């Protein structure tokens, strides 16, 4: 048996009984990639917000926009769902960088619409293509009653964003470092870290936090997604898990997509730690 495929076969065995489809992309930065359906398209849900963040920093890098610009929360930005700005009345004014932080760390839908309005839909999609993500599209702002979908992407496209962020090769080293700091503050790690040993992530029980994550998840009726970078004492790895075609559209912590995603994520972590920074021998 070819030992390079051991983890891939274990993942395939783990998800064989899953009532749904999971696309996976993994990269250990030592030449080992594992990809299952990496080029298949999935609804993005809120993972599209990572692409919007990248486009914002790209526009800032080019001198077209500024993180210090002010953006107004307008009536057309109002939308239900995740975030905190929906609790405010239209008319509030934020700095661009603050709206971007809300968009990522609490997946704020109002802040996302503000960012889409500020950057422009065409600019965002052009930037996504310039970043090499040929299979990713943002179709419209977030308005659930008007539009049935938000965006589509692939595990490979999403993984490439995080891979280049680690290397400082997405926008620039300074911009990439700033984006990573925002992504590290993301509040919703229900899939990637769900089954991680708490002691690895709790500085109260150790001298330091041993594992940190920079990620962005997303959920809609048709999908459950998560992806990001896991930083360990042996170095980082990228993990992306996109889900679709499951039968249960309800939202709850023990949703099968979350359960199976968490199992795969823990399997990957254990392998990476056991091999001291590699996914394969």
The model's pTM:
0.94
**Average pLDDT over all residues of the chain:** 93
For 105, the token pair is 């760390």
At the topology level, CATH places domain 43-153 in Beta-lactamase (3.40.710)
Euclidean distance between CA atoms 7 and 268, whole angstroms: 8
SS3 sequence, 7-47? HHHHHHHHCCCCCCEEEEEEECCCCCEEEECCCCCEECHHH
Judge whether 185 and 157 are in contact, CB under 8 Å. no
Instruction: Give residue 3's pLDDT band: very low, low, confident or very high (50, 70, 90).
Output: low
Matching fold, domains 1-40+183-281 and 43-153:
yes
- CATH architecture of structural domain 1-40+183-281: 3-Layer(aba) Sandwich (3.40)
Please state the domain extents for the chain: 1-40+183-281, 43-153
Residue 270: pLDDT over 50: yes
Predicted confidence (pLDDT) per residue in 137-163, tens digit: 999 999 988 888 899 999 999 999 999
């Amino acid at each position: 048996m070819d030992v390079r495929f051991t983890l891939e076969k274990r993942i395939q065995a783990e998800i064989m009984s899953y009532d749904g489809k999971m696309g996976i992309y993994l990269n250990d930065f030592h030449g080992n990639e594992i990809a299952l359906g990496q080029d298949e398209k999935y609804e993005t849900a809120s993972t599209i917000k990572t692409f919007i963040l990248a486009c914002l920093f790209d526009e800032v890098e080019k001198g077209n926009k500024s993180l210090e610009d002010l953006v107004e929360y307008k009536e057309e930005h109002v939308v239900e769902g995740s975030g905190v700005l929906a609790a405010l009345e239209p008319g509030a004014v934020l700095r661009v960088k603050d709206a971007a932080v809300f968009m990522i760390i609490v997946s704020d839908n109002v802040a996302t619409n503000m960012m889409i309005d500020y950057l422009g839909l065409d600019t965002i999609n052009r930037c996504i293509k310039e970043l090499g993500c040929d299979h990713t599209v943002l179709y419209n702002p977030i308005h659930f009653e008007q539009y049935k979908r938000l965006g589509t992407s692939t595990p490979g496209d999403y993984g490439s964003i995080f891979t280049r962020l680690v290397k400082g090769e997405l926008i620039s080293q300074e911009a990439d470092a700033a984006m990573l700091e925002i992504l590290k503050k993301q509040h919703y790690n229900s899939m990637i870290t769900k089954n991680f040993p708490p002691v690895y992530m709790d500085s109260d029980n150790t001298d330091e936090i041993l594992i940190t994550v920079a990620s962005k998840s997303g959920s809609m009726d048709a999908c459950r997604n998560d992806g990001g970078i896991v930083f360990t004492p042996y170095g980082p790895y990228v993990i992306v898990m996109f889900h679709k075609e499951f039968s249960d559209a309800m939202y709850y912590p023990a949703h099968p997509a979350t359960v199976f995603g968490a199992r795969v994520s823990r399997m990957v972590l254990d392998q990476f730690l056991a091999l001291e920074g590699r996914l394969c021998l």
